[in-house]
Amino acid sequence: MVKDAAGLDLPVRIRAWDGSEAGPAEGPVLVIRSRRALRRLLWAPGELGLARAYVTGDIDVEGDLADGFRRAWSMARSRPTTGVDVGVRGVLRAIGGAAGLGAIGPAPKPPASEARLRGRLHSVLRDRAAISHHYDLSNDFYELLLDPHMAYSSAYYTHEGQSLHDAQTAKLDLVCRKLGLEPGMRLLDVGCGWGSMILHAAEHYGVHAVGITLSAQQRDFIAKRIAERGLSDRVEVRLQDYRALRDETGARAGEQFDAVSSIEMGEHVGEGQYPEYVGIMYGALKPTGRLLLQQMSRAENTQPGGGAFIESYIAPDMYMRPVWHTVKHLVDGGFEVRDVEAMREHYVRTVQDWIDTFEARWDEFVALQSEEVARVWRLYLVGGMLTFEEGRMGVDQFLAVKATPEGRSAMPATRPWTAD
């Protein structure tokens, strides 16, 4: 039916609920378990319908899921830039074929794990709900998936065979070196996650660190680690929206920092709010203070939110921008941009390490949440890895400085952070 409607050769073999099969004999097999899967595709054609069918188990994949994605995307690239255009006749043929299979019916209910946000886009309450949907899944879930740092961002691999934990340590050290951290300095981490940056900087670089997060579960996790490691005199975590830093209620009187980091939080800041995000970080810095921003990017002329699946299940309201656009925001906000480092291949390895953990401990992830949530994450991780692999998304570190009005930056003439 797909081939007849769109004129496509199937990229993978398909097996229907009645045992009938079509497509290439080798490679992954897409298993359509029920007519409900076809109804999902009829009511939500494309990525969202496929995602709903997969996470509910209405369709499954036998074999290598990543290989199946590669084949499908290779086919999509071979089509005209407008994509697959089935036309009116194709739609009618598809509907007729579905009717012949008994698949016509009311729209199936969306999966329970699909995000349902309300309120004005990027209002404080809606942003809090979006963050909670993803990051408040459970601390136990993330502890099972992530390395001991609990770093949920791209690692930095310095040699072959390096463990994920060592690569995350290398990333944290790289950030600290780029910021020029020294004992006694004050560091602000905007969107601090589970505290990997503030804890590492305090323990190994002797700084006083403040982290802010919108996730109550992250805040509780960090507070426990602060107490366990005896760092209460050097590390503080606040349950706080970044916008509160501009208010007297959110910032201490006259509070400024020697350095600011924000690691993969900027994707959650809407385009309209991004100048304020940059301005708040600029305002939080002392003159000659440095900003290290690690952020995912997207290729030109691609969806800023990452697609229907990501926006519906993983990161509602996410907004990614091309690298040059982020640089412009920083410069427009008063920063002098001193260094940009692309890390796309590092994210491929990072996500592959997460996938290896996820597949090896599949039953534990299912027990912690549900099979539906586990299937969401399998789809997310595999799709994300291939998106970075194929260059449709990247991740970059931006190093910027708040120079004095006279132009003094106190930046080194070379890049000492690159030294072994």
Residue 365 has pLDDT above 80, yes or no: yes
User: Quick one: 358 and 219 in the same domain?
Assistant: yes
User: Quick one: 320 and 395 in the same domain?
Assistant: yes
- Across the chain, mean pLDDT equals 86
What's the confidence (pLDDT) of residue 84? Answer: 42
User: Quick one: 326 and 188 in the same domain?
Assistant: yes
- Residue span of the structural domain in which 403 resides: 124-418
Number of domains in the chain: 2
Residue 5 has pLDDT above 60, yes or no: no
Angstrom CA distances, 15 to 18, 41, 59, 279, 379, stand at 8, 16, 10, 54, 20
Question: End of a domain among 100, 134, 156?
Answer: 100
Sequence-ordered alpha helix ranges (H) in 312-370: 323-332, 344-360, 362-368
> Quick one: residue 414, left, alpha or beta (phi over 0 = left, psi -120 to 50 = alpha)?
beta
User: Quick one: 330 and 268 in the same domain?
Assistant: yes
What's the confidence (pLDDT) of residue 121? Answer: 75
Question: End of a domain among 100, 134, 155?
Answer: 100
In this predicted structure, which of 18-32, 256-270, 361-375 has the lowest mean pLDDT?
18-32
Using a pLDDT cut of 70, give the percent of the chain over it.
86
Q: What angle do CA 285, 239, 325 make, to 5 degrees?
A: 50
Among 244, 139, 236, residue whose Cα is nearest residue 192: 236
User: Quick one: 6 and 55 in the same domain?
Assistant: yes
> Where does the pLDDT of residue 351 fall: very low under 50, low under 70, confident under 90, or very high at 90 and above?
very high
pLDDT per residue over 92-113, tens digit each? 454 455 555 555 667 788 888 8
**Tell me, what CATH number does 223's domain have?**
3.40.50.150
What's the confidence (pLDDT) of residue 23? Answer: 83
In the sheet where 235-239 sits, what is the strand order?
235-239, 208-213, 186-190, 257-263, 285-298, 393-401, 336-342
Among 280, 259, 283, residue whose Cα is nearest residue 189: 259
User: Quick one: 204 and 314 in the same domain?
Assistant: yes
> Where does the pLDDT of residue 13 fall: very low under 50, low under 70, confident under 90, or very high at 90 and above?
confident
User: Quick one: 342 and 385 in the same domain?
Assistant: yes
Residue 160 has pLDDT above 80, yes or no: yes
pLDDT per residue over 213-231, tens digit each? 999 999 999 999 999 999 9
What's the confidence (pLDDT) of residue 83? Answer: 43
pLDDT per residue over 133-148, tens digit each? 676 678 999 999 999 9
> Where does the pLDDT of residue 88 fall: very low under 50, low under 70, confident under 90, or very high at 90 and above?
very low
Residue 179: phi, psi to the nearest 5? -80, -10
User: Quick one: 129 and 71 in the same domain?
Assistant: no
Map residue 32 onto helix, strand or coil.
Answer: strand
